Structure 1
Amino acid sequence: MKRITSLACVSLLAVSVNLIAAEALYQNDFENLEVGTAPAKVDGADLSTGISCVRVSDTRNGQILVMTDSAEYPKNVWPMLTHDSTMLSKISASKWIYSADIKQDAESPVDFVIEFRSAGPKTRFTAIIANAKGQLLTRGKTIAKLCTIPPGTWWTFAVTYDERNPETYQIQITDAAGAVLGETTMENPPGMGRITWLGYVGYTKADGSFYIDNIELLPLAASSDPQEKAKETPKPAQVEPTFRDAKYGAHVKELMNVWQVESEQPLGVLLNIHGGGWMGGRKAETMHKNHLNPGYHYASISYPLVNEGAVQPAMLNAALRAVQFLRYKAEEWNIDPQRIVVSGGSAGGCSSLLVALHDDVAAPKSDDLDARYSSRVAGAMVAGAQTTMNPFVIKERIGEKTFGNPMPYKPFGAQTIQGLMDNWDDYKEMVLKCSPLSHLSADDPPLHLFYNVNREFPTTKSSNGIHSPIFGEIMLEACKKVGVECYLQYWEKDRP
């Protein structure tokens, strides 16, 4: 039997993020631009052909720059955002962090580079090459793949550069929840020094677009004195957890990072479960300060993975256990136990829905103190989540090319989708146990589902199918029948 949790989750489902501009040497979210305009200059940035301001619904501020490349552009004409001396002169520290939110267009992605230069035509480095396939590459002595992010997905790029030690620089890529997707240290070409040019360039002369938002430049202390650093230096963009690697279960991977907000009153907590098909991925180790909200705590977990020998229901049980652990720690960590909301993308979103819809697993008389607490939550907010793992439903409603992704079969111990379907009686119970739709009932909390890939049937590729908005439609249909509050968001033009 389920126990309904208080609906005091509205402030967490409608997540808001506050910018702290006072800490930045430079910051631009393009809110001061007129929508539809193509200005030549934006507060420290020169703009070239194919750049304009647009309003969108999937960023925290609403206005962004769209940079559009074209096969029709003549020679030496590129979409280019170049920071000039107006912005770069504001660097008062020799060591700094530069960051921006970036997204490839979902339908028409295009190759582009993020490039830094110092004085002289050859003293430059390309921090990131982003290609139309969503691959992020670094270019040092060789070109190396850093990570892959599907077009249509926002990610944050951050480079740390020290002009006193210009031989190397650091790159970090994080997702919208602050989870690290890739990071590396790169070597600079000889002769690098003070940066005098920084730009984004769409360079392939192909039809396509990419987007930029929330550019920020933060200084880091040059002083080696910790007390002087504390006095003179703003907090870095990335924030360390208050509690790192707290063990919430017996498995070696059942670890939790928690970012605690100071408050006289207990606050809710947003629990993030990372994606990766239940096969890979990792929890957030740092959080960008703009992703932390003063109205609630934030937690991120790691859990057993298929690539490390685990099978379901290990991932499901870990997610349920994490909620119980947060309630066990409620008094110590100043948590309001009635305001726990789960979130995640892809497989993390599926796990979040499983937690939100699953029967309460509390065992009040258990010798395990954590297990005595409720696993119910106040809501779930997910992106690209699978709402059913039933392969027959997926094949019928979305298309069999979805099975190019192994998530529908490997976490259940099958080696192929055909093997799972041919031996359905052997796998059925566990597959349905790990399908959110199987657990839906009238007493469940509100759900918010977001999808950022095109709706198509049948799906033409596995990366689209496994994150298809049709999964959301399936859940919305079921929620309407039983009266559960459900919000589904994807591109309006794709709706049937």
Structure 2
Amino acid sequence: MWGAVLIAVGTGAAGFVPPGAAASPAVPPGARSGGSVAAGSAVMVTPDLPRFRTYAYGKGGKQRLDAYWRAPVKSARSRPGPAVLLLHGGYWIEGDKRDWKYVARRLAGDGFTVFAADYRLAGPHAVWPAQRDDALAALRFVKKNARRWNVDPGRIVAVGSSAGGMLATQLGTYGEGAKQVRGVVALSPVNNPYLAYRQGDAPDASPRQAKLRRAVVDLLGCVPGAGDDDLCWDRADDADAAVHASAGDAPMLLMHAAGDFVPVTHSTELASALRAVGVPATVRTVTGAGHGTAQLSDPGVYPRILAFLRARTR
């Protein structure tokens, strides 16, 4: 499915820009114009391609994000547009922002400026909440520099998959989430790491659930439930989005596959907590066992996501 999207939108110019570097307010660096090819009496017009550039939102090696936009991003009368922040999955210990590139290009084609962010991977030097801190820093960078891409800083939504879905729900619940993002879409989010830790120890746990259990230890930097470790319990609670649910949170669309190794209970628990304080939260289950972005192979999933994003960024 995404291979067809890649052919349709092509690739853009790439570059790297550190924080604070100058950029044209009208057309960000690296932009190129589209073209046309004559074939007899017919003319095939190539639409403007999504542009691509990498920026640093912090000093760490993983604190980078890729921006995708359609040029020109600004005209004399153009209204600042909506944006999407994408957060990749990978058990918090692996994965890369480029995992989102086909989705990013498609969203750019549908009218969004898109930012796919990396974040520090879990390990001895990056335990929770380092990953949430990075997601928040990436979001602040986009808002601070919104004029570069003619983005409305008040019309940004977060989308994440698996571990990245958990980070997206954290953006929507930590503090006053609705002031940070207008909405959240999470595919197979591991919203409750301690629940995932327990599920990975069940007799019928799959290899992926067992791997997720080990990754939770890497994320928290401790073994939850191993003795009376207040710091570990505090981290586990803090990493559970439902704990942060409040009336000021962002509306959410939470999606799992019926056979997902991250069960839908991760999202039904969060949705119940959000609804209890008056925040709209929708949980959808699709057929099959697709995890995270694999759900996009279902032809109904992307249109549902797009409709939600558009509704939240009007």
TM bracket, shorter-chain basis: 0.5 to 0.7
Q: Which runs of 5+ in 1 are unaligned?
A: 1-100, 102-155, 159-173, 179-215, 221-226, 362-373, 455-463
Which of 245, 248, 255 lines up with 1:443 in the alignment?
248
1:377 maps to 181
Q: Please state how far the C-alpha of 1:483 moved relative to its aligned partner.
A: 1.4
Q: Please state how far the C-alpha of 1:304 moved relative to its aligned partner.
A: 0.9
CA contact (8 A) 1:385 1:449 kept: yes
Q: Please state how far the C-alpha of 1:218 moved relative to its aligned partner.
A: 9.4
Counterpart mapping for 1:311-460 below 5 A: 311-359=127-175, 376-391=180-195, 395=198, 401=205, 402-405=209-212, 406-414=214-222, 419-423=223-227, 424-454=229-259
Counterpart mapping for 1:19-418 below 5 A: 101=1, 156-157=2-3, 230-232=35-37, 239-241=50-52, 244-261=53-70, 262-263=73-74, 264-284=78-98, 286-287=101-102, 289-306=105-122, 309-359=125-175, 376-391=180-195, 395=198, 401=205, 402-405=209-212, 406-414=214-222
CA distance in 1, matches of 2:113, 2:8: 26
- 1:354-413 CA-to-partner distances (Å, cap 9, x unmatched) read 01101159xxxxxxxxxxxx971111011000121234x863899573444223221112
CA distance in 1, matches of 2:102, 2:200: 37
Q: Please state how far the C-alpha of 1:479 moved relative to its aligned partner.
A: 1.9
CA contact (8 A) 1:219 1:234 kept: no
TM-score (norm 1): 0.44
Secondary structure, counterpart of 1:272 in structure 2: strand
Which residue identity lines up with residue 244 of structure 2 in the other structure?
H
Larger Rg: 1
Q: Please state how far the C-alpha of 1:492 moved relative to its aligned partner.
A: 7.9
1:482 maps to 277
CA distance in 1, matches of 2:202, 2:248: 31
Q: Please state how far the C-alpha of 1:286 moved relative to its aligned partner.
A: 4.3
Q: Please state how far the C-alpha of 1:239 moved relative to its aligned partner.
A: 4.5
CA distance in 2, matches of 1:330, 1:219: 24
Q: Please state how far the C-alpha of 1:236 moved relative to its aligned partner.
A: 9.8
Q: Please state how far the C-alpha of 1:300 moved relative to its aligned partner.
A: 0.5
Normalized per residue, which structure has more helix? 2
Q: 1:469 to 1:310 in 2, by over 3 A?
A: same
Identity value in percent = 21
CA contact (8 A) 1:323 1:375 kept: no
Q: 1:237 to 1:346 in 2, by over 3 A?
A: farther
Q: Please state how far the C-alpha of 1:470 moved relative to its aligned partner.
A: 1.3
Q: Please state how far the C-alpha of 1:292 moved relative to its aligned partner.
A: 2.4
CA distance in 1, matches of 2:120, 2:64: 10
Q: Over aligned residue pairs, what C-alpha RMSD do you find?
A: 3.6
CA contact (8 A) 2:253 2:281 kept: yes
CA contact (8 A) 1:256 1:302 kept: yes
Normalized per residue, which structure has more strand? 1
1:468 maps to 263
Which residue identity lines up with residue 233 of structure 2 in the other structure?
K
Which residue identity lines up with residue 220 of structure 2 in the other structure?
F
Q: 1:236 to 1:303 in 2, by over 3 A?
A: farther
Q: 1:331 to 1:487 in 2, by over 3 A?
A: same
Q: 1:397 to 1:357 in 2, by over 3 A?
A: farther
2:312 maps to none
Q: 1:217 to 1:407 in 2, by over 3 A?
A: same
Q: Which runs of 5+ in 2 are unaligned?
A: 12-31, 38-43, 290-314
Secondary structure, counterpart of 1:450 in structure 2: strand
Secondary structure, counterpart of 1:411 in structure 2: helix
CA contact (8 A) 2:35 2:47 kept: no
Secondary structure, counterpart of 2:154 in structure 1: strand
Secondary structure, counterpart of 2:270 in structure 1: helix
CA distance in 1, matches of 2:241, 2:288: 27
CA contact (8 A) 1:239 1:287 kept: no
CA contact (8 A) 1:442 1:484 kept: yes
Q: 1:474 to 1:352 in 2, by over 3 A?
A: same
Q: 1:313 to 1:453 in 2, by over 3 A?
A: same
CA contact (8 A) 2:50 2:109 kept: no
